[in-house]
């Protein structure tokens, strides 16, 4: 029996438990997991913003996960082109994309190659957008107190510990 190769992609900026859960659930459904990390240029082009954490660091964080077998740069959104490079059997994507014209197109392109698109649910209550907003709000509440992120952690460590426990329970 041949091994099942999985593929998933993401920006993975400000890596959080939701990212980990998606990657873990993807790995549970394949033998070898390839993760495409969006390059800074792709994020700028697609989202019109620069990631907080540079590509090289985001790729290193993802590569350090025990669930990840290989990290590759995602330089464009061409899923058929990715399949031509990596020959994956399953592609994992967030369930919020299911039924969208973009992903219906990808399904039509990949189906003839035997690729199964697996839609994974997100972790409730956490997203990079929400996390960025919370951090910005906290820093805005405490201007001039100095310390940047260190101050943020000290001011709200109890809140985040409680939230973390809720999310991983």
Residue 36, number of CB atoms within 10 A of its CB = 23
Cα–Cα distance, 17 to 152 (Å, whole number): 19
Is the pLDDT score of 163 beyond 60?
no
Q: Is 87 helix (H, G, I), strand (E, B) or coil?
A: coil
CATH class of 5-120: alpha beta
Give the pLDDT confidence of 110-133 residue by residue, as tens digits. Answer: 999 999 999 998 876 666 666 666
What's the pLDDT score for residue 152? 46
What's the pLDDT score for residue 133? 66
What's the pLDDT score for residue 157? 43
Domain boundaries, the chain: 5-120, 128-168
What's the pLDDT score for residue 139? 64
Q: At 160, is the pLDDT very low, low, confident or very high (cuts 50, 70, 90)?
A: very low
Give the pLDDT confidence of 4-60 residue by residue, as tens digits. Answer: 999 999 999 888 888 999 999 999 999 999 999 999 999 999 999 888 899 999 999
Is the pLDDT score of 96 beyond 70?
yes
Give the pLDDT confidence of 61-85 residue by residue, as tens digits. Answer: 999 999 999 999 999 999 999 999 9
**pLDDT cut 90: percent of the chain above it:** 60
Beta strand 90-94 with 5-10 is: parallel
What's the pLDDT score for residue 153? 44
Cα–Cα distance, 1 to 22 (Å, whole number): 26
Task: Give the active site residues.
Answer: 47, 49
């Amino acid at each position: 029996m041949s091994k099942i190769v999985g593929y998933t992609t993401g920006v993975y900026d400000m890596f959080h438990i939701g990212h980990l859960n998606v990657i873990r659930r993807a790995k549970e459904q394949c033998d070898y997991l390839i993760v495409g990390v969006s390059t800074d240029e792709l994020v700028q082009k697609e989202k019109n913003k620069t990631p907080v954490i540079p590509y090289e660091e985001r790729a290193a964080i993802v590569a350090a996960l025990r669930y990840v077998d290989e990290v590759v740069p995602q330089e464009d959104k061409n899923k058929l082109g990715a399949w031509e490079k990596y020959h994956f059997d399953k592609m994992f994507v967030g369930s919020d994309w299911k039924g969208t014209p973009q992903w219906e197109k990808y399904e039509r392109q990949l189906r003839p190659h035997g690729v199964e698109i697996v839609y994974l649910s997100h972790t409730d209550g956490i997203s990079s957008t929400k996390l960025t907003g919370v951090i910005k709000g906290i820093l805005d509440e405490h201007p001039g107190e100095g310390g940047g992120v260190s101050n943020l952690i000290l001011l709200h460590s109890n809140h985040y510990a409680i939230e973390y426990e809720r999310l991983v329970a």
